[in-house]
Structure 1
Amino acid sequence: MKKKLLMITPENQEINRFRKRQFNNFVQITMPYLAAFVDQEKYLVTLVDEYNQKIPFDRHFDLVAITVNTSNAAHCYRMSEKFREMGAKVVFGGPHVTLLPDEAMEHCDYLIVGEAEQTWPQFLSEFYNGECEKKLYQMGEIPFLAGIPIPRRDLIHKRFFTKGAVISSRGCPYHCAYCNLKQIYYDSFRTRPIAEVIEDIRQMKSKYFVFWDDNFFGDIRYAKALMKELKGLNKRWAAQVTLERCRDQELLQLAKESGCIYFFVGIESFSEESLQSVNKRINNVAKYEQLIGDIHRHGISVQAGIIFGFDTDNRDVFKKTLDACNHLGIDGVTVSILTPLPKTPVYEQYKREGRLLTDDWSAYNGKTRVAYQPKQMTAEELFEGYMWFRKEFYSWKSICKRMKVSRVNLLHNLLVNLGYKISIKGTYK
């Protein structure tokens, strides 16, 4: 008899209110990907994404699997308690439980730590047969990406235009002090066989998709070979890349020819001092204008990652960053408050210095609260400056300025900017 398995991508209400009205929120691919490992002869799978679905507490499940990130940890712990009271067993995986397994184990029955290509199928088999003799599953070797299954996109609810996410590589060559990739994954950049990536993309019904890679240009030779194969698919795509690697003109040309619409680039700051303070030396502020101009000349938009709250930031940083973005014609930003995620060098530094303001993980979301004491301003000034920047960047005045400079993908950029503008409405006071 089949066991009933519920797989949850969590999103607490605080973050959901923040993201809901944006137009470019592609699906989180982790659970659809892990669902592809499930033996359909043994399990009846239900996939729920809290971005646009409610948790079915009124239904019985034998097993509930939840992927836990830091800002959702307390929310996931409460969900787990409810399901366990109803008789279900709960298994956790994901970034937060990989970083803090002892904490997470207090709130679930089983734990999958780190990458799960081997441990997740092993756990499912043992659970089905009633043979789970341990509570914690952890891989002892680096998993490679050859032969991995295609995600179960048929289980994704709605998301008609934003369910296309694909994995072509894992990991990042760099070691930024605020990033927890090195603590979550093995410190090894890996790529997936190109033919398997192309087949995965070919099976997508949507014309639009995003590479869910940590750094799509982590291996330039691989990226070029993959984009050459992409040309014939007539798809439109986006990816997260390192700005410095965009100096390669052949790389940019291949991206455009293969259907690239925009790059997400981690600019983070327009201050060399700030970048060096968090080991982001790969970025060179003096080259931003040339590199962003090159990307635009190839017809590709730039969605910039911006972080406020570095120790070198003062109250002038918000206006200076806005002026720089307008000058460069940056098409859109994903702006965040610096967040000391557990086990990262930044977290360890702030903890050592007594600057962490709370141990409530829901405050560590980088969007709605400040979790630490900044060095050159108050926490309130940091939050207000961040909110002011969001409001001003997505004002009509700024949108028009930036689009006049960029002049690429005008309809797409207008829609994305409008989505962010709507999402901000009502949050700024």
Structure 2
Amino acid sequence: SPDPLYADNQNYGVEFMPLWVFNLSSNLNNKENYNITLYDSRIHKIDNMVESDIFIFSGINQDLHMINSVQENLRTRYPLSKFIIGGPITWSFHKAKSLYLLKEFDQIIIGDGEDIISEIIENNLNNKQVGKIINNEKRFPLSKSKSLDIPFMSRYINHYYGAVVEVSRGCPFLCEFCDIRILPDNNKSHCKNPSLIGQDVENLIKFGKRQFIFACDNFIGDHVWAEKVVDELIRIQEHHKVYISIYTWVTINIYRHKRLLKKMRLAGFDLLFIGIESFNQNSLIETAKVQNTKLELVTIIKEIQSYGFIIVAGLIFGFDTDQENCFDLTLDGIKKSGLLSGDPSFLTALPGTPLYRRMDLSKRLRNKDDLISSASTGGIKYQTNIKYLQDKDDFVYGFLKFIQTYIDGKFQFERLDSFVNSLNNSNFIKLRSSSGGFLNALSFVFKNPRSLVMLFKRAIIFSKNPIRVYFAIRGFYLIIRSRHKLINQFMFWLFSWSNYVIKYSDLKYEDFDLDCVAEDFDYAEIIPDKYRELADEKIPKNKIDMQYKATVEGLSKLIPQ
């Protein structure tokens, strides 16, 4: 039950398939005994939902209000039905001690569902007494994954612009704010068999899908395995003479693996989400993002982009060591590196993370129920759940000033120009799938009335400013005169820019619900007592110590001696 508004404006009006549904269906025993139907709140109308013995929900924190609204509607209409919820939202709320926000559900499932879904359904159908909360701490081994349920998927796949294939889980890094590391046994990579990934991609290609998301925490957590996957993808595409484009998540250390970078381009990898987070070295050390501190960030970003990749950058403001110049540092870093994408957000303490523990112990958590669903990297109302060290007025007005430059035509043209310049070397590999991607997306937009309205609204708002139009034209001229004439990259840049314009143009001080520490805050509490002692993650002790050491090093200058 995701909010359809997000797909309409931030995803350009196109949707990717909800992978969790097809994953669970693939692992369901005796599914021929059930009549399974998918309801996607982005596509289907709730009024058309028919009665069911069981309704199963999933979502992320931001979906809370939509999930509860749909559940309440269905409960009223079908009071005898059972309502079950799982997914990331239940794990996060469990860690935040906030499962009461899901109290209207008959059963709450925490953890992986693949190996318990059959039992859960059978118990509910047979009215067997089961606990309201099932905490499945045992991770599902991806080595036992099954191919996507093709007969079930075939009923729905044409509703979606792109396909999603889960390829791995886990990440070996230790970022203080990240909740990937705190899941059971998730501080290392667990990888699906490359041949099974190839089989799923091959089946989806047969359904006409050419745009893929490879769902994972870090595709190169095991770079040897990653290369095997890439080799399999190249083989399949060569066999079918059909070429795809892929979006996935990686870490910045991918720059070291030049052979892998080349092969990934040959396999169709186009967009890479990379957590850049900050161009401030101290902030990176504070959050134990040590992989981003090995070399100068701008140099590394340009090296990765030189192969043709678009980096979708994670950018965060509000680290304890951020100074007033953090906004200028970020603008300068974006412009020099040529990052085409990156929606800035504010540091948020995700439940269960070391950052959450540190904020809690130092009494810097904001204890508001309506902030729990904002515990993510960003949010429509600009709420976060921690108290920053920065003065609120300086922080908010600094961000507002940052945004005015960020959406400015001259700045956007300069970042595009830097991106194009980073491609002027022998590394560049043009995707064979590069043509038609945005045309295909537009065909889906025109099928969706809400998305079509948003497209026209986007065009009107953007074109109200003649300077933006001027620099958009200059950007197009730059691309067609460039060595590689990358029209898709131009369209991505333009649509991303227009997203920022829609999201930020009318932003004002009153839109921010942020807070800062009191004037008499004791800075010795930045690293509170028992911060290390209460670390209870199920990862090797030496790794916890490594993160703690980096965080202390980054914050030490702020602590009175």
TM-score category (smaller protein): 0.7 to 0.9
In structure 2, what is the Cα distance between the partners aligned to 1:373 and 1:68? Answer: 27
1:303 pairs, out of 300, 312, 324, with 312
Residues of 1 paired with 2:398 and 2:43: CA distance?
30
Q: How far off is 1:247 after superposition?
A: 1.6
- What's the offset of the Cα at 1:181? 1.7
Q: Could you say which residue in structure 2 is the equivalent of 1:106? A: 103
Residue matched to 1:192: 192
Letter in 2 for 1:198: G
Q: Is the 8 A contact 1:167 1:213 kept in 2?
A: yes
Please, what is the CA RMSD of the aligned residues? 2.7
Question: Does the 8 Å contact 1:10/1:50 carry over to 2?
Answer: yes
- 1:214 Cα deviation after fit: 0.7
1:403 matched residue in structure 2? 416
Residue 367 in structure 1 maps to residue 371 in structure 2: no
Alignment match, 2:355: 346
Match of 2:63 in 1: 72
- Indicate how the Cα distance of structure 1 residues 32 and 388 shifts in structure 2: closer, same or farther if over 3 A, else same: farther
1:92 aligns with 2:92: no
Please point out which of 42, 49, 55 is paired with 2:40.
49
Query: How far is 1:105 from its partner?
Result: 5.8
Report whether the alignment pairs 1:82 with 2:73.
Answer: yes
Query: Which residue in the other structure is 1:325 paired with?
Result: 334
Other-structure match for 2:125: 128
Identity %: 23
**How far, CA to CA, are the matches of 1:124 and 1:145 in structure 2?**
22
Q: Secondary structure at the match of 1:91?
A: strand
Opposite residue 170 of structure 1, the aligned amino acid is R
Q: 1:297 to 1:423 in 2, by over 3 A?
A: closer
In structure 2, C-alpha distance between the alignment counterparts of 1:397 and 1:153, rounded to whole Å = 45
Task: Indicate which of 202, 226, 229 corresponds to 2:229.
Answer: 226
* SS of corresponding position for 1:44: coil
What CA distance in whole angstroms lies between the structure 1 residues aligned with 2:158 and 2:402? 32
Of the three residues 254, 263, 282, the one matched with 1:245 is 254
User: 2:545 corresponds to which residue?
Assistant: none
- One-letter code of the match for 1:422? S
Query: What is the CA distance between 1:62 and its match in structure 2?
Result: 2.0
Question: What is the distance in 1 between the residues matched to 2:44 and 2:336?
Answer: 40
**Which residue of 1 is the match for residue 54 of structure 2?**
63
Change (3 A) 1:272 1:26: farther
Deviates more, 1:349-358 or 1:90-99: 349-358
Q: Would the alpha carbon gap of residues 355 and 215 (structure 1) be closer, same or farther in structure 2, given more than 3 Å must change? A: same
| Whole-angstrom distance in 2 between the partners of 1:287 and 1:112 | 43
1:127: how far off?
Answer: 2.3
2:26: which partner in 1?
Answer: 36
Give the Å deviation of 1:185. Answer: 4.5
Which whole-Å CA distance do the structure 2 matches of 1:300 and 1:262 have between them? 6
Mean CA deviation greater in 302-311 or 360-369: 360-369
Q: Deviations over 1:116-155 (max 9, x none)?
A: 1111222123223333533333435332113323165435
Q: Alignment partner of 2:36: what SS?
A: strand
Q: What number of residue pairs does the alignment pair up?
A: 417
1:10 and 2:2 correspond: yes
Give the deviation of 1:160 after TM superposition: 4.1
The residue matched to 2:142 in structure 1 has which SS? Answer: coil
CA contact (8 A) 1:70 1:341 kept: no
Change (3 A) 1:157 1:258: closer
- Matched residue type, 2:379: K
Please state how far the C-alpha of 1:58 moved relative to its aligned partner.
5.8
Structure 1 residues 153 and 221, CA gap change in structure 2 (3 angstroms): same
Which structure shows the higher helix fraction?
2
Name the SS for the 1:50 alignment partner. coil
Q: Distance in 2 between matches of 1:180 and 1:387?
A: 29
Aligned equivalents of 1:185, 1:67: Cα separation in 2: 20
Match of residue 3 from structure 1: none
Quote the Cα distance in structure 2 between the aligned partners of 1:256 and 1:116: 34
1:307 aligns to what SS in structure 2? strand
Corresponding position of 1:415:
491
Deviates more, 1:301-310 or 1:282-291: 282-291
Within-5 A mapping of 1:269-288: 269-284=278-293, 286-288=295-297
Which structure 2 residue ranges, 5 or more long, are not aligned? Answer: 238-242, 424-429, 431-485, 507-561
Conserved 8 A contact 1:241-1:263: yes
Tell me the distance in 1 between the aligned counterparts of 2:334 and 2:494.
17
- The 1:173/1:298 distance shift into structure 2, 3 A limit, reads same
Consecutive unaligned residues in structure 1, runs of 5 or more: 1-8
Contact 2:64 2:373 (C-alpha < 8 Å) held by counterparts = yes
Question: What residue in structure 2 maps to residue 6 of structure 1?
Answer: none
Match of 2:270 in 1: 261
2:500 to 418, 424, 428: 424
Query: Which of 340, 358, 364 is matched with 1:355 structurally?
Result: 364
Task: Decide whether aligned partners of structure 1 residues 98 and 362 sit closer, same or farther in structure 2, where only a CA change above 3 A counts.
Answer: closer
- Say which of 125, 129, 134 aligns to 1:137: 134
Write the distance in 2 (CA, Å) between the matches of 1:393 and 1:153. 41
Structure 1 runs (4+) greater than 6 angstroms displaced: none
The residue matched to 1:266 in structure 2 has which SS?
Answer: strand
Name the counterpart of 1:149: 147
Whole-angstrom distance in 1 between the partners of 2:191 and 2:416: 35
- Is the 2:172–2:181 Cα contact (8 Å) retained in structure 1? no
